[in-house]
């Protein structure tokens, strides 16, 4: 069947019949979204869905969208997609802002996320990981999420923000619920989910309002104190912005790293020959984590709004259109990756000229916490592999959490022996 080619001059592009892959939201939680993504990339790499959203699945198109084409997360009228008017207090976190507001907010926060600053956290990450594994070493079984993948990033981001240790437990639930705000903001989710998001948001707002006031009178060396100082030095960070950045950083630094560690461990255990390579050569951990990001990362897609008409393939996509970059499809594009469906812990080893993956995005919205996520995952996975032998999964299927990201809820596993 022939299909029309939409142009920027048309008032409304004609939907392309057929999805050629999983529906976006369902694909996030399916056991294998990659087969659908491959079919989409091979059949129609520039795809207009029936709801008017465009999807890109080729590496080159995605890279160009993220790094070269003028885009943002908001439309050119300054509103978020789905909004007809600005909702007071919504979308203040820098992830939901475009320059110049995004630039100002990111500059303030980025001081805590430089490679040098992140490297200084390695001993603390190692200590947290060792203590967590000590607790389960004698049991022969563990939940890879609850016992490792969740508490490592939860503890780190709370310490980074200066959240007292006694409060970290309740933050776990608040953050899990509030993360779904990235869904409800786009109109996804039932009334129950919206209520949970709202309740978590109010709890977080009340907590950080009190904590910010405490830090004003008694500043520390944490990021929250740094942001308060910057505000007072004339950077014009409003109280509402200060609270929003604190909540946003907590959410952004939490759930995706759970997914990276959890999915990475699941993938390694399901590929015992690759796990054996890593155990034999612990120096491969850096390459292994990059391959986990490429092969089974927690973010399947990211969205941009075009700030000018742009051509991809045979199509000209109009300004202010939402475009979904299927980074998981691009990460398996055979035009850039040799044997892309193969999980290979040596792919990014030193001396190899491997194509960079797309998992941390690109351009102005390149993931600010990429270095921290990498380090946390390298320490968590590297230490578990070194200390625990005979790792096996208790189930072939994955119990996924309800999230915008690909994050497992539980990963029951067993091990034969543990070393200190």
Pick the range with the lowest mean pLDDT from 87-91, 133-137, 218-222, 352-356: 87-91
Contacts of residue 363, Cβ cutoff 8 Å, sequence gap at least 6: 66, 67, 71
The percentage of the chain sitting over the pLDDT mark of 70, rounded to a whole number, equals 86
Give the pLDDT score at 93. Answer: 78
pLDDT at 157 over 80: yes
The percentage of the chain sitting over the pLDDT mark of 90, rounded to a whole number, equals 47
Helices within 232-369 (DSSP H only): 239-252, 255-270, 272-280, 285-296, 327-330
- Tell me the pLDDT of the chain averaged across its residues: 86
Residue 342's pLDDT band, with cuts at 50, 70 and 90, is: very high
Residue ranges making up the domain that contains 134: 24-78+94-418
Give the pLDDT score at 13. Answer: 47
Structural contact between residues 352 and 42, judged by C-beta atoms closer than 8 angstroms: no
- Which range of 84-98, 108-122, 218-232, 367-381 scores highest in mean pLDDT? It is 367-381
9 lies in a domain?
no
Give the pLDDT score at 357. Answer: 97
13 lies in a domain?
no
pLDDT at 11 over 60: no
Structural contact between residues 161 and 224, judged by C-beta atoms closer than 8 angstroms: yes
89 lies in a domain?
no
Give the pLDDT score at 15. Answer: 45
pLDDT at 323 over 60: yes
Give the pLDDT score at 167. Answer: 84
Task: Over range 287-295, report the average pLDDT.
Answer: 98
pLDDT at 214 over 60: yes
pLDDT at 114 over 90: no
Strand 322-325, strand 54-56: pairing = parallel
Q: What is the CATH number of the domain that holds 255?
A: 1.10.630.10
Q: What is the DSSP letter of 235?
A: I
pLDDT at 22 over 50: no
Give the pLDDT score at 28. Answer: 59
358 lies in a domain?
yes
Question: What are 249-270's pLDDT values in tens digits?
Answer: 888 878 899 999 999 999 999 9
Q: How many domains does the chain have?
A: 1
pLDDT at 364 over 80: yes
8 lies in a domain?
no
Give the pLDDT score at 240. Answer: 83
Question: What are 49-81's pLDDT values in tens digits?
Answer: 877 789 999 999 999 999 999 999 989 998 888
150 lies in a domain?
yes
5 lies in a domain?
no
* pTM (two decimals): 0.90
Give the pLDDT score at 4. Answer: 45
Give the pLDDT score at 26. Answer: 52
Of 135, 142, 381, 359, the closest CA to residue 258 belongs to 381
Pick the range with the lowest mean pLDDT from 62-76, 165-179, 316-330: 165-179
284 lies in a domain?
yes
Residue 87's pLDDT band, with cuts at 50, 70 and 90, is: low
Residue 6's pLDDT band, with cuts at 50, 70 and 90, is: very low
Cα angle: 318, vertex 100, 72; to 5 degrees: 25
**How far is it, in rounded angstroms, from Cα 373 to Cα 158?**
14
């Amino acid at each position: 069947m022939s299909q029309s080619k939409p142009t920027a001059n048309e008032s409304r592009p004609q939907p392309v019949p057929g999805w050629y892959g999983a529906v976006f939201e369902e694909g996030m939680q399916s056991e294998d979204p990659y087969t659908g993504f491959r079919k989409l990339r091979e059949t129609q790499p520039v795809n207009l869905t029936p709801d008017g959203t465009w999807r890109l699945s080729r590496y080159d198109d995605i890279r160009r969208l993220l790094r070269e084409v003028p885009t943002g997360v908001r439309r050119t009228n300054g509103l978020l997609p789905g909004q007809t008017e600005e909702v007071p207090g919504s979308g203040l976190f820098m992830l939901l802002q475009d320059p110049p507001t995004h630039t100002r907010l990111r500059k303030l926060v980025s001081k805590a996320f430089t490679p040098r600053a992140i490297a200084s956290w390695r001993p603390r990450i190692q200590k947290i990981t060792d203590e967590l594994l000590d607790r389960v070493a004698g049991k022969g079984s563990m939940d890879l999420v609850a016992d490792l993948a969740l508490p490592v990033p939860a503890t780190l981001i709370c310490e980074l923000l200066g959240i007292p240790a006694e409060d970290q437990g309740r933050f776990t639930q608040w953050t899990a619920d509030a993360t779904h705000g990235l869904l409800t903001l786009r109109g996804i989710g039932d009334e129950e989910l919206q209520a949970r998001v709202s309740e978590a948001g109010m709890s977080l707002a009340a907590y950080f309002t009190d904590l910010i006031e405490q830090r004003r009178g008694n500043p520390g060396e944490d990021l929250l104190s740094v942001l308060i100082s910057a505000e007072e030095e004339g950077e014009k960070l409003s109280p509402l912005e200060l609270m929003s950045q604190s909540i946003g950083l907590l959410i952004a630094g939490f759930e995706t790293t759970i997914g990276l560690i959890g999915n990475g461990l699941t993938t390694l255990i399901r590929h015992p020959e690759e796990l054996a390579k890593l155990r034999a050569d612990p120096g491969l951990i850096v390459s292994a984590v990059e391959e986990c990001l490429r092969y089974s990362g927690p973010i399947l897609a990211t969205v941009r709004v075009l700030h000018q008409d742009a051509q991809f393939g045979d199509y000209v996509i109009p300004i202010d259109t939402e475009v979904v970059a299927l980074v998981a499809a691009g990460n398996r594009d055979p035009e850039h990756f040799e044997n892309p469906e193969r999980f290979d812990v040596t792919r990014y080893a030193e001396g190899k000229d491997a194509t960079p993956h797309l998992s941390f995005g690109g351009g102005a919205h390149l993931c600010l916490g990429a270095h921290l996520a990498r380090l946390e995952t390298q320490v968590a996975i590297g230490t578990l592999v070194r200390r625990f032998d005979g790792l096996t999964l208790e189930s072939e299927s994955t119990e996924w959490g309800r999230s915008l990201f690909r994050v497992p809820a539980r990963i029951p596993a067993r091990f034969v022996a543990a070393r200190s």
